[in-house]
Amino acid sequence: MTFRQARWDEPSVWDLAPSGPGEVPNVPGLPERFRRKEGVRWPELSELEVVRHYTRLSQMNFGIDTSPYALGSCTMKYNPKVSELLARRPGAADLHPSQPESTVQGALEILWRLERILTKVTGLSEVSLQPAAGAHGEYAALLMVRAYLRDRGELGSRTEVLLPDTAHGTNPASAAMAGFTTREIASKDGCVDLAALRAAVSEKTACFMLTNPNTAGLFESEILDIAQTVHGAGGLLYYDGANLNAILGVTHPGRMGFDVAHLNLHKTFATPHGGGGPGAGVLAAGETLAPYLPVPRIVKRGRKFSLDYDRPKSIGKIRAGYGSFGLDLRAYAFALAHGEEGLKHVARRAVLNSNYLGARMGQYLPRPFRPLVKHEFLLSGAPLKEKGVRTLDLAKRLLDEGVHAPTIYFPSLVEESLMVELPETESKRELDGYFDAFVRAVTDTPENLHAAPRNLAVSRIDEVRAAREPLLSWKDLRAAPAKVEAP
């Protein structure tokens, strides 16, 4: 199979038509000095010109619908089309969060029902759908931990958040934003080193943040001892749900001893990721932290749903509105379609895919740690260095095959790492196709690997230059001295 991405010489939107400053109309009662001095400069185009421009741009982009997306920890599964149909119903799209409660009973019911499903999936007692994304859920959870510690008079003493060195970067960043100091625990064989954790916990420990299965794709089998260790020291246990896909219906954060969790609906529950967002975060809390969840909470009395603000311990709001309803609705449809057996099948198929592909790809590059993995697996591109090839080159060469590269250079405890995840929606045929593409790439000559990509809209991009001489908008391009012409 030879792949060629579209390569349009498409100008930027401002080069399609003149962008003279428009007239600024008169607004009655507006003081002259508040009126815009010069109208907005932006092109005036016909609908067809606009549609053609953005359609051409879209053709220079990978999506799940065109290519398998092997990004580890991103869980790029198929986004069912029926969800798009439902999210565009006027009864879903044409609603304002400040409408009277009596006019949005259906929306509140969807949110309430999804919350109930997610309490079961997480095994925790209450769920809020307010966070806008996973990292936002982490942050909110840590603010709840903060409020809880304040109530116990321990805010001044429990100042430390512990995390393994394999943690997603958002974990330490969220902890720092919430005012905690962070301390990384070194891993042993890809998992938490229980002895190191025991040595690290203390009366300063606020919480331990853990992803399970972790970013090495391994299930932390000592999880119950980890929970006991953290709780024994008076700390709380935080579940990063980015990798929940692998354990749906097998275990859950509640059973593993976690006190609070975030999930990513745009991963496990198949809502589209839109080229970087929107996401939708879920905050799930056990009894200890549930009183601190953001307001409003959705409550059901008889057949009537309402928004409850009477939660004196709540941290308040973490965003406007009640969450990303459009995505919550899609996630609800996904959960409804799958049901109990379907969700269990998701985990089983995802784990089977990962182990199958791991075994095959592992014939070409070393796999660190034990071979039994969950949703994703790691490879090390270190042996390629001998022929002057880096993981980056391999990733670019894979793109030339029309498949998306794995996550690269994360986690950093593996040299030249590749993190591969092709979730349950990819068939055996697609997995074998991915494997074949990988073999062609990894066995290619160093010259070809260095020259990749060749089949995309652009060749290898100079990212160092992008950072060294930042050109961040149209304004910068106009001011830039170097003229660059399309060929």
Partner 1 sequence: MLAALGIGSVDELFSDVPKRARIGRLGIGPSREEPEVVREVDKILARNRPLSGFANFVGGRLPIRYVPAAVDAMLSRSEFFTAYTPYQPEASQGMLRVLFEFQSLWVELTGLDVANASLYDGATAAGEALLFARRLHDGHRFLVPASLPWEERSVLQNYASGPGLIVEEIPYDPGSGGLDLAWVRTKVGQGDVFGVLADVPNGFGHVDPAVLDLKSTIGAVPLVVAADPLSLTVLEAPGRYGADVVVGEGLGFGIAPSFGGPALGLFACRKEHVRMAPGRIAGATLDADGRRAYALTLQTREQHIRRSRATSNICTNESLMALAFVVYATLVGPRALAQLQASLAERAKTLASALGGVPGLLAPRFDAPYLGDFAIELVSGTAPAFLERLRRRKVLGGQAIVDPRPGAPKTPERILVSVGASAGEKEIQRYVTAARAAVGGGGP
Kindly state the smallest distance separating residue 271's Cβ from partner 1, in Å: 10
Contact, 168 vs 215, CB < 8 A? yes
* DSSP code for 390: -
* Choices 201-209, 230-238, 266-274, 283-291; region in contact with partner 1 by CB under 8 A: 266-274
Q: Does 40 bind partner 1 (CB under 8 A)?
A: yes
Residue choice 312, 387, 429, 481 for contact with partner 1 (CB under 8 A): 312
User: 377 in helix, strand or coil?
Assistant: strand
Q: Which of residues 55-74 bind partner 1 (CB under 8 A)?
A: 55, 57-66, 69, 71, 74
Kindly state the smallest distance separating residue 226's Cβ from partner 1, in Å: 11
Q: Does 228 bind partner 1 (CB under 8 A)?
A: no
Kindly state the smallest distance separating residue 461's Cβ from partner 1, in Å: 5
Smaller CB separation from partner 1, 223 or 284: 223
Kindly state the smallest distance separating residue 476's Cβ from partner 1, in Å: 7
| Size of residue set near partner 1 by CB under 8 A | 198
Kindly state the smallest distance separating residue 5's Cβ from partner 1, in Å: 8
Q: Does 27 bind partner 1 (CB under 8 A)?
A: yes
Smaller CB separation from partner 1, 153 or 386: 153
Say how far apart CA 177 and CA 143 lie, in whole Å: 9
* Choices 197-205, 233-241, 382-390, 405-413; region in contact with partner 1 by CB under 8 A: 405-413
Residue choice 237, 285, 329, 384 for contact with partner 1 (CB under 8 A): 329
Q: Which of residues 104-143 bind partner 1 (CB under 8 A)?
A: 104-107, 109-110, 113, 117, 120-121, 123, 132-136, 138-140, 143
Hey, which residues does 413 pair with through a beta bridge?
none
Q: Which of residues 419-448 bind partner 1 (CB under 8 A)?
A: 428
Contact, 396 vs 453, CB < 8 A? yes
Where are the strands (E) in 255-324, listed by range?
260-264, 281-285, 297-301, 304-308
Q: Does 460 bind partner 1 (CB under 8 A)?
A: yes
Tally Cβ neighbours within 10 Å of residue 476.
11
Residue choice 198, 319, 390, 440 for contact with partner 1 (CB under 8 A): 319
Kindly state the smallest distance separating residue 41's Cβ from partner 1, in Å: 6
Where are the strands (E) in 255-296, listed by range?
260-264, 281-285
Distance between the two ends of the chain, CA-based, in angstroms? 27
Both tokens assigned to 353: 């895919």
Q: Does 302 bind partner 1 (CB under 8 A)?
A: no
Contact, 173 vs 196, CB < 8 A? no
Residue choice 89, 152, 188, 385 for contact with partner 1 (CB under 8 A): 89
Contact, 425 vs 74, CB < 8 A? no
Both tokens assigned to 465: 């230059």
- Kindly give the interhelix angle for 105-122 and 325-361, rounded to the nearest 10 degrees: 30
Contact, 184 vs 192, CB < 8 A? no
